[in-house]
A and B are shown apart, each in its own frame.
Chain A
């Protein structure tokens, strides 16, 4: 079983394993930084710690105009200097996904998403795109 935090962005349902997630914030106060690379949505203050907020859709390369409500703060992996967060449209539930439902991504999707998809889980109602934390940055 994989514990997955689901979130909506664009028209798709994405997921990230909860073990990579530190916390979720609603309506983060973002400071935009001029001249920053395009996918940097800005910086936010997480109880005294500066967090770099990346626009998940821009990171993926398929931006939409939808308002983004939530930020998913990721745990710092060894070797990373800064705390990162993903700015997403809307965070949803944490669900258990059986490995049996997961399939490796197919080349068909690769052009759009590069290599950041870890699995595609065939949920009853829809498909869940589980992203690969290690290949995000």
Chain B
């Protein structure tokens, strides 16, 4: 049973770290593994075993012990390791990892198979070593209480012992004869000291004469050929302890538990503040454990909370500064105070952001294992090079990168690197190299995954895209290599000839891009035939606060992420040389001899403004991947740090917002979704819409283009879609339940009539008389009038990011058409549909 819930989490974290170290050591080149490294691996497993023993986690102890035994053979008996043992130890490590991660139920996992394997390996080793060297039975230390009489158990010592006992330590008395022979065989006093302190904590160390000793004196050779007496605390069981410190068993004495309690009674009389001392001691023990490390474990939830509060603080500060601006001159000393608060707030936020930063190395270090496994599975020779592991990223971004990187590394190994034979034939090094590299670039971090494989085979991409009917032959032949790369991001595209264990489930790059988008990152692929492929991920350093440009149009304030803004241009009414020119209601501006499509921001919600007032406008030039376009606004208010708040569900349909924010004046303002605007105003073409390779716009953390839709059919063949966010309920009814009153239909809902409509009656789509038995009634929510929508068939729920084509589809009551799963679906604009149904019903905003 678990003994202490509070400490168990600490154990898990520690164990994970140990397991990571363990793996790292075993993944080093076999020939290079030094004895010291094996020893480190041994200690890693060993400390897991020790602590697990304390918590009574029997199965973890069993595996750890078996692993330890194997390592011990290598460590002490100088048996050579082979690849097979490393594989076995890694497998055992993985199993241990599973148990550690589910520590509370670790005792329920079956472990007999792995234990059997480890025992088999152990038996092998025993044969290799021969019976002679292998100590069949370990002598147990004597329980010679009189030995301890030489120590002076003063109050301080008593307290220490009590504290150690509390945390599961055993107390040993050691008589160490520092003979020349012992010193030379164990590598000198320094090695002895290191060895002992690695497994035990020295409580008291005295000479035969009873004077206190320290390691420095010993290292100076003062007590050679003398015996020294040590009182030490160790988590190890006696038999193991003796093995590790390498002394004869009769030199180690165990301090019995009752012995301690007897004298503890004395100590109790002596000191009433024992508890306090204990606490102090525990603390001292803790600091001992983290000796040298200047870091501290902090719960990530606490950091998240701090981060949120810091963000609020920044906004509060901004608000305060705005409000007090006019008072600055009236109150003496105010400007200095404000400046101070301003500066402090910024640095608090900055420092808290820093606490969440972690080196990319922690992530990169997971991949050598992957490469090793892949190399076996794919039967290719692979090597992983890691650069820039010390580059730091926000923890949440780092975590979000884990899966995409696994995918990209797999892709590189599976599709990129050729087989060894083929590489040889091409005159390349047989060993394929995959490089993981991180570097800073301004306020972003670039992460590159490169391989020296064959590069992307563009003709194969075209072939597959054609086979899968993603594009027509004409389209494909006109594509440049850059455009062909984008095809890779098409959902459902996968170049793997077969479904392999390694990659090729056909969801690959699409998912990678979606994940990166969510974090505000972007991806770029370059490839050189025969020389390899390079995938570059560009990630923001942190999340949730972005630099932004505040603009206003029609007196409505909107926020544009600064990352999307390339430049701003002020247009003067008077200057005639650079006007906005129009073609068929589309506007353009000549920007340094290049034609820049421009949009009036207010056109988005108030189109066809007749006789637009000629006034001073400003163009905000935005970049969306390779495309640039301008947004015409009336006022540029300025730059502000903006905290992104997720977009409420009811605003998702608008399609032009990525989130909301609270501004310095305390008012809420929407953050514009540049890609959404471009889509809405048909600035970007279809191909680019489907695969916007470059997505530099910052998005709210909670923002996701994917939405849930219900697909259904009316009486026609068209598939209609309605956003689930707008659906209250769906009921099945019999046709006979529908009653006709004039040209309207009603059903009974409860005891009241509810008007129902056939959407096909109000949309310009096919309709047929209906002869089936059952209808479905979809009741929408947040509508201005109670109404039900009739469907003949509910097809399914889907979650996807609709790519709307609203230019070819101008049907009133619809957002447009989108393609999902190779079928065309029509997405209903509920509010517009209801307006068609009931033109007199109120329209707001």
State the A residues within 8 Å of B (CB). 29, 31-45, 48, 50, 52, 54-55, 58-59, 61, 63, 81-82, 106-107, 109-111, 113-115, 135, 137
| Contact indicator A45/B781 (Cβ below 8 Å) | no
Top 4 nearest A-B pairs (CB, nearest first) are: A110-B752, A114-B786, A34-B605, A38-B844
B786 close to A115 (CB less than 8 A) = yes
Given A40-B650, A50-B660, A59-B782, A32:B845 Cβ within 8 A: yes
Contact of A55 among B645, B667, B844 (CB under 8 A): B844
Given contacts A38-B842, A52-B650, A81-B648, contact A33 B670 (CB under 8 A): yes
Expressed in whole angstroms, the minimum distance between the Cβ of B308 and any Cβ of chain A is 9
Q: Is the CB of A37 within 8 A of B667?
A: no
| B556/A40 in contact, CB under 8 A | no
21 A–B contacts, CB within 8 A, in A order? A31-B556, A31-B667, A31-B669, A33-B651, A33-B654, A35-B656, A36-B845, A38-B831, A38-B842, A45-B662, A45-B667, A50-B648, A50-B660, A50-B662, A63-B844, A107-B753, A110-B752, A110-B754, A111-B753, A111-B786, A115-B752
B138 in the interface, Cβ–Cβ < 8 Å?
no
Least CB distance, B679 to chain A, in whole angstroms: 14
Known: A48-B312, A58-B842, A107-B751. A34 touches B667 (CB 8 A): no
| Residue of A31, A33, A39 ringed by the most chain B CB atoms within 10 A | A33
Contact of A61 with B844 at beta-carbon distance under 8 Å, contacts A31-B667, A37-B650 already known: no
CA–CA, A110 to B656, complex, Å? 36
Query: Which residues in B have some Cβ–Cβ distance to A below 8 Å?
Result: 312, 315, 556-557, 604-606, 645-646, 648-651, 653-657, 660, 662, 666-670, 728, 749-754, 781-786, 830-831, 841-845
A107 touches B784 (CB 8 A): no
Known: A34-B556, A36-B654, A37-B653. A45 touches B844 (CB 8 A): no
Task: Specify which chain A residues have a CB less than 8 angstroms from the CB of B845 in the assembled complex.
Answer: 32-36, 38, 40-42
Q: In the bound complex, what is the Cα–Cα distance between A33 and B559 (angstroms)?
A: 12
CB distance from A133 to the nearest CB of B (A): 13
- Write out the residue numbers on chain B whose beta carbons fall within 8 Å of the beta carbon of A114: 754, 786
Taking A45-B666, A48-B662 as known contacts, 17 extra A-B pairs with beta carbons closer than 8 A to each other, sorted by chain A number, are A31-B557, A31-B667, A33-B651, A33-B845, A39-B782, A39-B784, A43-B670, A44-B668, A48-B312, A50-B668, A58-B784, A81-B646, A81-B648, A81-B649, A110-B752, A113-B786, A115-B750
Among the listed B315, B649, B666, which residue makes an inter-chain contact with A29, where contact means beta carbons less than 8 Å apart?
B666
Query: For B645, what are the chain A residues with a Cβ–Cβ distance below 8 Å?
Result: 50
Select the residue from B649, B782, B783 with max chain A CB neighbours within 10 A: B782
Task: Report how far A31 CA is from B661 CA in the complex, Å.
Answer: 11
> Closest approach, in angstroms, between the C-beta of A34 and any C-beta of chain B?
3
Chain B neighbourhood of A111, CB < 8 A: 752-753, 786
A61 interface neighbour in B557, B605, B654, B786, Cβ under 8 Å: B786
Partner of B843, one of A38, A42, A43, A82: A38
**Contact with B556, one of A32, A39, A58, A107 (Cβ below 8 angstroms):** A32
* Minimal beta-carbon separation of B277 from chain A (angstroms): 46
Whole-angstrom CA separation of A44 from B662 in the bound complex: 9
Closest chain-A Cβ to B783's Cβ sits at a distance in Å of 8
CB distance from B149 to the nearest CB of A (A): 68
Q: How far is the CA of A127 from the CA of B754 in the complex (A)?
A: 24
Distance, CA A106 to CA B753, complexed state (A): 11
Contacts of B557 in A (CB 8 A): 31
Q: Which residue of A35, A41, A107 is within 8 Å of B604 (Cβ)?
A: A35
Give Cα distance in the complex from A130 to B47, angstroms.
65
CB-CB nearest in chain B for A62: B842
Smallest CB–CB gap between A83 and chain B, Å? 9
The chain B residue with its CB closest to the CB of A38 is: B844
Q: Known: A33-B670, A43-B668, A107-B752. Is A82-B842 also a contact (CB below 8 A)?
A: no
Query: If A35-B654, A50-B660, A110-B752 touch, does A137 touch B844 (CB 8 Å cutoff)?
Result: no
For A41, what are the chain B residues with a Cβ–Cβ distance below 8 Å? Answer: 844-845
* Nearest B residue to A112, CB-CB: B786
CB distance from A29 to the nearest CB of B (A): 6
Residues of chain B within 8 A (CB-CB) of A36 are 650-651, 654, 845
A54 contacts across to B, CB distance below 8 A: 782
User: A31 to chain B: which residues have CB within 8 Å?
Assistant: 556-557, 667-670
The closest CB in chain A to the CB of B843 belongs to A38
Find chain B residues with CB under 8 A from A38 CB: 784, 831, 842-845
Tell me the minimal C-beta distance from B174 to chain A in angstroms. Answer: 61
Per the bound structure, the CA–CA distance linking A111 and B654 in Å amounts to: 29
Residues of A within 8 A of B750 (CB): 107, 110, 115
Most B CB atoms within 10 A — which of A38, A44, A106, A111? Answer: A38
The residue on B at minimum CB distance from A49 is B645
Give chain B residues whose Cβ lies under 8 Å from the Cβ of A43: 648, 660, 668, 670
Q: Is the CB of B844 within 8 A of A39?
A: yes
Chain A residues with CB under 8 Å of B728's CB are: 135, 137
